[in-house]
Amino acid sequence: MSKEDVILEIAHVSKTFYPGSINQIEALKDINLTVRRGEFITLVGGNGAGKSTLLNAISGYFFPDAGSIKVNEKDITFLKEEKRAPYISRVFQDPKMGTAPRMTVQENLSLAYRRGEKRTLKFGTSKEERAFFKEQLATLGLGLENRPSADIGLLSGGQRQSIALLMATLKRPDILLLDEHTAALDPKTAQLVLELTDAKVKEMGLTTIMITHNLQDAIKYGTRTLVLHQGKIVKDYQGREKANLTTEALFAEIQTLAISDLY
């Protein structure tokens, strides 16, 4: 693997919360992960395995106690979260977290389009930008291209999460982080958003890491599946092993890890 192929490199990253107290939690333990450009990774594991913590470390929500994180060979280990915005986008579980409820669809897209740029007192969208936003909204297949002035807060959870996904990918980030972004949706809507996600990732060639508790989705989507347990990556399915992976085998792997904790 050449350096040009590597977009994300995590080396010996560890994170402990509440160190020295009775509530001490070793959330990440010597994590090592190399991600190739264009890979779509699904991330699974039991509660408390460290999945969201790993995404938090990548996004800059907190700094690790040890180790390093590089994007395109640039060390971002101690780069503030807002400074990572040009490189990394994230969609959260709660549709409300990725959008501004008191702003319109168009205003939300305008904010996302200017992510990482210096803010000014001037706010507005050009004719070209409005046309671009309409074109992008049409790709969602929800008819929202005809409702640019609709308040985000009045949309359904599925519509809102679809727009959050569009906002996260509007500027083609180096890395897209999906933190259980369909978990709060009903099954039918979740499936629609997942299919939209898969189409966007493939169309744009986005390097993506997606947390999911749905093992079928973990197998169906992506090019690689990681299993986390007690803050460590314990299994890495890719290539033929990923292609041949079954829900039963993945469930058995996670169950075995859970049972081992009892002894």
What is the C-alpha separation between 25 and 231, in angstroms, rounded?
10
For the chain, give every domain's residue range: 3-100+158-260
In contact, 70 and 76? CB cutoff 8 Å: yes
The predicted model scores a pTM of: 0.93
Burial code of 140-165, b = ≥16 C-beta within 10 A, e = fewer?
bebebbebbeeebeebebbbbbbbbb
| Rounded mean pLDDT for each run of 10 residues along the chain, 263 residues in total | 84 96 96 97 94 96 97 96 92 88 91 73 73 91 90 91 93 95 91 93 96 95 96 96 95 86 65
Q: 207-211 and 88-91: which strand pairing?
A: unpaired
What is the C-alpha separation between 163 and 141, in angstroms, rounded?
11
Residue 211 token pair: 């947390």
Q: Which CATH number fits domain 3-100+158-260: 3.40.50.1980, 3.40.50.2000, 3.40.50.300, 3.40.50.670?
A: 3.40.50.300
User: Which residue do the tokens 């002035």 mark?
Assistant: 149
CA separation, residue 193 to residues 2, 107, 151, 226 (Å): 34, 22, 20, 22
∠ CA 49-54-58 to the nearest 5 degrees?
A: 175
